[in-house]
């Protein structure tokens, strides 16, 4: 049964990836907004922001830009899932000997692949703009692991949105709060510079722990307890979103 589900997932993932290859503007569009934000902060706003660090501002803000890239990208997962539901593809799959779980996992794996490409593009542009790091291979692998976990957590939230939405705008609109969340964190300015209530929220929301962990890994600094807080948040969100998506899926597809 497991081998059957894996095979089905592989076939359906290939189908979704072919759609993206035929329409690469999805990945390009996902990368455009974060790159534009990088240019804005580095060349317009960065000079007026005191981060208290000795490195360049792009080194400070890149982790937040990576999270925004992923938050932008997962909106397309909800969008594609919604179109599949409206187009009757799910009903056709139900009439075939296909593992039900493979349908959702195909969308999840497609999201993961597309977002990793977008993240790579953004990092490439950041290097051109002056981003530098002496991070070891192990640190890069740790960053990659956190990025993958963050992508999976947000993608399962996107699955919930795609299954629950009644319109295309509703399917993709859920991502706006996720894109905005890094702005109320330590992604672009130290939380100490924020007003009291805002600083409290910024210091206790998941994005700050994730950003601080990635920043420390790039800077070859001690990550302390931030990584455990980040992993706790991401694993918790992932499990809750996965459970919620499965419940909604079973109610929607009978």
Which alpha helices (H) appear in the chain, and where do they start and end? 2-22, 25-40, 57-86, 89-94, 100-129, 137-164, 168-173, 175-180, 196-203, 206-218, 226-252
Q: What is the pLDDT of residues 28-71, one digit of tens each?
A: 677 788 888 888 888 776 666 666 666 788 888 999 999 999 99
State the DSSP code for 194. Answer: S
Q: Is the pLDDT of residue 115 over 80?
A: yes
- Which residue has tokens 């130290």? 190
Whether 210 contacts 233, CB under 8 Å: yes
Whether 17 contacts 106, CB under 8 Å: no
Mean pLDDT rounded to a whole number for the chain: 83
Whether 55 contacts 219, CB under 8 Å: yes
Residue 189 Cα distances to 123, 131, 204, angstroms: 20, 17, 15
Binned at pLDDT 50, 70 and 90, residue 72 comes out as: confident
Q: Is the pLDDT of residue 26 over 70?
A: no
| The pLDDT of residue 141 | 95
Q: What is the pLDDT of residues 132-186, one digit of tens each?
A: 888 899 999 999 999 999 999 999 999 998 888 788 777 777 778 888 899 899 8
Q: What is the pLDDT of residues 241-253, one digit of tens each?
A: 999 998 988 887 7
d(CA 189, CA 184): 9
Token output for 184:
């109320």
Higher-confidence position of 254 and 195: 195
Token output for 242:
């996965």
Phi-psi region of 130 (alpha: psi -120 to 50; beta: other; left: phi over 0): left
Q: Is the pLDDT of residue 98 over 80?
A: no
| The pLDDT of residue 1 | 45
Q: What is the pLDDT of residues 191-236, one digit of tens each?
A: 888 888 999 999 999 999 999 999 999 988 888 888 999 999 999 9
Residue 103 Cα distances to 51, 91, 154, angstroms: 45, 11, 17
Q: Is the pLDDT of residue 238 over 90?
A: yes
Q: Is the pTM of this model over 0.95?
A: no
d(CA 64, CA 210): 9
d(CA 245, CA 239): 10
């Amino acid at each position: 049964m497991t081998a059957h589900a894996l095979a089905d997932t592989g076939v359906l993932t290939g189908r979704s990836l072919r759609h993206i290859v035929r329409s690469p503007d999805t990945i390009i569009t996902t990368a455009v907004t974060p790159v534009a934000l990088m240019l804005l902060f580095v060349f317009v706003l960065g000079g007026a922001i005191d981060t208290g660090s000795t490195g360049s501002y792009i080194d400070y803000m890149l982790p937040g830009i990576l999270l925004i890239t992923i938050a932008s990208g997962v909106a397309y997962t909800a969008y594609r899932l919604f179109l599949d539901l409206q187009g009757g593809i799910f009903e056709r799959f139900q009439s075939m000997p296909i593992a039900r779980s493979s349908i959702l996992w195909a969308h999840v794996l497609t999201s993961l692949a597309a977002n990793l490409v977008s993240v790579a593009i953004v990092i490439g542009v950041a290097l051109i703009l002056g981003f530098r790091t002496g991070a070891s291979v192990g640190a890069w692998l740790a960053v990659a692991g956190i990025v993958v976990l963050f992508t999976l957590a947000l993608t399962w939230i996107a699955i919930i949105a795609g299954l629950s939405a009644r319109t295309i705008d509703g399917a993709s609109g859920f991502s706006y709060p996720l894109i905005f969340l890094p702005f109320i964190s330590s992604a672009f300015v130290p939380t100490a510079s924020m007003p009291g209530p805002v600083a409290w929220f910024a210091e206790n929301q998941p994005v700050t722990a994730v950003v601080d962990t990635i920043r420390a890994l790039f800077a070859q600094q001690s990550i302390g307890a931030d990584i455990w807080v980040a992993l706790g948040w991401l694993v918790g969100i992932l499990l809750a979103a996965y459970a919620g998506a499965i419940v909604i899926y079973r109610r929607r597809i009978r």
